[in-house]
Chain A
């Protein structure tokens, strides 16, 4: 802003001096010369700011911007990844629980995840079952066959010491 202020003062001074000198100059060729010289001074006062432009003045903002964007994007990617895992786990758990209900047992599935091509992928399921061992085994086999992922079933006998 100091730069702007000094430029305004310079332009103002040039224009006022030109105005005063032109008013005082005698008519004829002298006035024409004064007008030409004064006009050149005003032009210089107007165009000198262009010489002061520096590309580095606005490039730092461009260097900073990708960091800010990368930070926000990274945070959103992490959040979306966790949300996808949660939704996949919910869908798989609902599917398994529906089968467990059909077998007459209750099961609390815990899903483990890996990653394939940046996509969260379920790799294993642990079932905490309450009910008969044979039903738990049947449920485990069903999960491995239908979902194609490793499954371990733990019954109440195994969970309680």
Chain B
């Protein structure tokens, strides 16, 4: 029995073969087979894919940003040309607010849906990946540590999705509406509430990630103490037999464990690359929109649109909040995968 046969049988038995890598993960690698890539080569291809797609992301972000800027310019022109028309001046900020909301929020709400889908994809993929990594981690002599880390990853991942679904996305919607209402009313009436909502979302995400990392570390240390006993059993059997048989058993044990470790590490590398590819598409879509809108918001006061410029900046913040949710999901999955590989 050669090493390739051993690897192949373990690859199938550990469930690594049945891990489905989402289609969007392949797109960024330019058609290369992720399963055969080294980590550095994978990141290089990913970087190339990002570079090629970056222009498209900027084009997609341009339309709502340019529309918003046009609204600011038109409102600024109207203020300059018709300052004596009091009724028009009262209604103008409200009209400008509604126009900017229509230009930007349609795009935002569509991205909330795709962001939610990205979070779910990350969670589903990482669960099947972690089951394989945990099984192989247990097989190389760390069953306690593997089981503890796997359970922590599953529970926290599901908790994060539930919190994003039930609390954070409604909070994000509320933030957007509060910002719009604040711009419509004027006087920074609801500015404090908007800031609070934004801070609350960021704080919740930070707490979940921090809590997960601490729990993962502590449970891994506690469970790892019992794992040493498992390896001792094999060594006891080997030491109590004649050299030839003991040598054969030791050889078999080392070969199988080494091959299992190889399955774990290669599956882990594929998993890291796939997770990065799933997350980076959403990162770029949201990140580019955030930057472009922030820029538009920053230059709006130059066109006389102070209040509308602030609205645009706040809406850019909404893209940032959504980016934070996806980043938290991706980071949690990545931390779990790295913790499993290190067993």
Contact = CB atoms under 8 A, between A and B. Distances in A.
A4 B170 contact: yes
B1 A79 contact: no
A99 to B, nearest CB: 11
B158 A69 contact: no
Contacts of A148: 241-242, 245
Interface string B171-203: 101100110110011000110010001000000
Interface in A83-115: 83-88, 90-92, 95
A19 B245 contact: no
Given A4-B165, A15-B178, A119-B237, A68 B10 contact: no
Contacts of B159: 58
Grouping DSSP codes into helix (H, G, I), strand (E, B) and loop, the B interface class, with mixed when no group exceeds half, is helix
Nearest to A78: B13
B255 interface: yes
A68 B135 CA distance: 10
A139 interface: no
B300 interface: no
Grouping DSSP codes into helix (H, G, I), strand (E, B) and loop, the A interface class, with mixed when no group exceeds half, is helix
Nearest to B184: A19
B77 interface: no
B173 A72 contact: no
B314 interface: no
A116 B237 contact: yes
B233 interface: yes
Contact of A87 (B135, B150, B251): B251
Nearest 3 interchain pairs by C-beta: A79-B13, A87-B252, A91-B248
7 contacts: A19-B184, A23-B185, A62-B154, A73-B138, A76-B13, A80-B260, A91-B248
Nearest to B230: A118
A119 B138 contact: no
Contacts, number: 179
Contact of B166 (A49, A88, A120): A49
Contacts of A159: none
Contact of A91 (B127, B174, B252): B252
A35 interface: yes
A15 B185 CA distance: 11
B9 interface: yes
Contacts of A61: 154-155, 158
Interface of A: 3-4, 7-8, 11-12, 15-16, 18-19, 22-23, 35, 39, 42-43, 45-46, 49-50, 52-53, 57-58, 61-62, 65-66, 68-69, 72-73, 75-80, 83-88, 90-92, 95, 116-122, 146-149
Contacts of B135: 69, 72-73, 75-76
B105 to A, nearest CB: 11
A88 B184 contact: no
Given A92-B245, A119-B234, A11 B154 contact: no
B92 interface: no
B1 A62 contact: no
B122 interface: no
A88 B245 CA distance: 8
B6 A83 contact: yes
Contact of A76 (B136, B165, B197, B249): B136
Nearest to A148: B242
Given A22-B185, A53-B166, A146-B244, A69 B131 contact: yes
